[in-house]
Amino acid sequence: MAEFDLVIRGGTVVTGTDIMRCDVGIRAGRIAALADHLDAAETLDADGLLVLPGGVDTHCHLAQPWPEGGRDEESFISGSIASFAGGTTSAICFSSQFKGHPIRDTLTDYQARASSAMMDYSFHQIITDASDAVIHEEIPALIAAGIRSLKVFLTYDPLYLDDRQYLRVLSAARRHGALVTVHCENYEAIKWRSEALLAAGHTAPKYHAWSRPKIVEREATHRAIALAELVDQPIQIFHVSCPEAAEEIARAQARGVKVWAETCPQYFVLSAADMDRPGFEGAKFICSPSPRGPEEQAGLWQHIRRGTLDVVSSDHSGSSYEGNVGKRRAGSDAPFTKIPNGVPGLAARLPIIFSEGVSKGNIDVNHFVRLIATNPAKLFGLYPRKGSIAIGSDADLVLWDPTKKTTITNALMQQAIDYTPYEGLEVTGWPVATLSRGRVVMRDGKVQAEPGSGQFLARGAYDMIRPTGNLPDGFDASQYP
């Protein structure tokens, strides 16, 4: 009997820290050997290719129900296909609570939808209503069930939490052991500016950016961190779009606060000018925070290199451009306040960050692996099962051609959403094959996997979410909810 089920032969294995020329032996879905001249009945030739850990995308909205009715268009099946096409093998998606309702009302249905996934997956639980039952019963139950991250919005009607509600969620997370992820924009400031813009007749998509300038992100980032520091609760700041917000994070990190931060591909290759394209086309680029400009893009690369921003996720969400359920839900001349937010990016994430990062000399290839796989796996309690190429880790791998030039089209994204905001973008570096737990699930762009073959990734306690113990006056207010 062959020692391995599959051997990847002749590639250059890249982890977050190392580069090695060796074969990878896979047995029972896991990495069993890293050595020269391994033998197996089946081999995959990786000559001239990089062998990377499968991408871990810790921020994507799949089949997520909306309070006003409807749900994100990307299902767990189409989302898995897009993920595999782009070299991602695990994703953390969002189970949403509706204000005034228990979490379980939406969670059970969401779990059923997710069971069709082909990639491995977990959930963040969105908390929109910090009621006593949610804080004292439902959050502990979620954590016991392996959902170790909570998501809160500091903006968006009807999702946002005020400071007191946010403090209650932070305290519950501290008591029971979970990471809190935060969407940082100032709700009242955006509302105030949006109303003024509409009153002035400024309704076109480009005014989305005007409604939420960088200062509303910087203020909310500062406040999110300050309140987390008050509670001594680890947090991750979602989708940082500008160096001004990143500076707030860097300052807190320097004084020892457990705050981490992600950014997304859209903040490196899209800009506010895209929202000013003719007619309704600007709607394709509306997401929050808004894409900024070249100066901010350069500033974000600096914060990536400094380590302020240590995860790049897709924030894949979005709505088709054509039809009447997506971007045009409120009509083709809807004011910017009625156009759904979000852009798709599951399949584009790795190619864009490799191309803009490694191919253009902003980061090295190990740093790329850390951003798209190792760091997200560590931060969300999936490491070393995910995010690494090590003995015993799941054989989630991408064979990557670092020189292949590709022009991004929506067809290549293999997603349900009918457009990509990256249409026509030229990238250098492309996935040639994707393996999920040793199964070849994508080869030369062809995705093949069984719906339901993905596994739910239950997450236990881990070190990064442990509080620091530094509390103002040493008093732990979180114990007196």
Residues of the shown chain interacting with ligand URP in the complex, contacts defined by CB under 6 A: 61, 183, 239, 287-288, 315, 317, 341-342
Compare residues 315 and 394 and give the one whose CB is closer to Zn ion: 315
DSSP conformation letters of 193-235: HHHHHHHTT--STTHHHHHS-HHHHHHHHHHHHHHHHHHT--E
Compare residues 263 and 317 and give the one whose CB is closer to ligand URP: 317
Cβ 94 to ligand URP shortest distance, Å: 8
Cβ 267 to ligand URP shortest distance, Å: 11
Query: Tokens representing 54?
Result: 């499968």
Phi/psi of residue 158, nearest 5 degrees:
-105, 30
Compare residues 183 and 439 and give the one whose CB is closer to ligand URP: 183
Compare residues 395 and 413 and give the one whose CB is closer to ligand URP: 413
Q: Which of 61, 82, 68, 151 is nearest to 342 (CA)?
A: 61
- Chain centroid to Cα 306, Å, comes to 20
Residue 370 contact, options Zn ion, ligand URP, none, Cβ 5-8 Å cut-off depending on partner type = none
Cβ 64 to ligand URP shortest distance, Å: 9
Residue 255: DSSP 8-state: T
440: β partners: 435
Cβ 30 to ligand URP shortest distance, Å: 33
Residue 181 contact, options ligand URP, Zn ion, none, Cβ 5-8 Å cut-off depending on partner type = none
Cβ 241 to Zn ion shortest distance, Å: 11
Compare residues 259 and 435 and give the one whose CB is closer to Zn ion: 259
Separation between Cα atoms, residue 282 and residue 273, nearest integer Å: 9
Compare residues 270 and 398 and give the one whose CB is closer to ligand URP: 270
- Residue nearest Zn ion, Cβ-based: 183
- Helices then strands, each counted (H, E), the chain: 15, 19
Compare residues 341 and 428 and give the one whose CB is closer to ligand URP: 341
Compare residues 208 and 439 and give the one whose CB is closer to ligand URP: 208
Residue 271 contact, options Zn ion, ligand URP, none, Cβ 5-8 Å cut-off depending on partner type = none
Query: Do the strands 50-53 and 397-407 form a parallel or antiparallel pair, or are they unpaired?
Result: antiparallel
Compare residues 234 and 291 and give the one whose CB is closer to ligand URP: 291
Cβ 311 to Zn ion shortest distance, Å: 13
Residue 175 contact, options ligand URP, Zn ion, none, Cβ 5-8 Å cut-off depending on partner type = none
Cβ 284 to ligand URP shortest distance, Å: 12
Compare residues 167 and 339 and give the one whose CB is closer to ligand URP: 339
**Residue 176 CB neighbours (<10 A):** 17
Q: Are the C-beta atoms of residues 113 and 458 closer than 8 Å to each other?
A: no
Region of 125 (left: φ > 0; alpha: ψ -120 to 50; beta: rest) is: beta
Residue 341 contact, options Zn ion, ligand URP, none, Cβ 5-8 Å cut-off depending on partner type = ligand URP
Cβ 184 to Zn ion shortest distance, Å: 8
Residue 287 contact, options Zn ion, ligand URP, none, Cβ 5-8 Å cut-off depending on partner type = ligand URP
Cβ 363 to Zn ion shortest distance, Å: 23
Cβ 277 to ligand URP shortest distance, Å: 17
Compare residues 76 and 267 and give the one whose CB is closer to ligand URP: 267
| Cβ neighbours of residue 168 closer than 8 Å, sequence gap 6 or more | 130, 135, 481
Cβ 320 to ligand URP shortest distance, Å: 15
Q: What angle do CA 113, 114, 115 make, to 5 degrees?
A: 90
For helices 243-254 and 214-231, the axis angle rounded to 10 degrees is 20
Q: Which residues bind Zn ion (CB under 5 A)?
A: 183, 315
Buried b (16+ CB within 10 A) or exposed e, 89-117: bbbbbbbbbbeeeebeebbeebeebbebb
Separation between Cα atoms, residue 399 and residue 7, nearest integer Å: 13
Peptide bond into 384 cis (omega under 30): yes
Which H or E element spans position 365? helix 365-369
Separation between Cα atoms, residue 314 and residue 312, nearest integer Å: 7
- With 0-12 / 13-18 / 19 or more C-beta atoms within 10 angstroms meaning exposed / middle / buried, residue 460 is exposed
Residue 90 contact, options ligand URP, Zn ion, none, Cβ 5-8 Å cut-off depending on partner type = none
Separation between Cα atoms, residue 472 and residue 169, nearest integer Å: 19
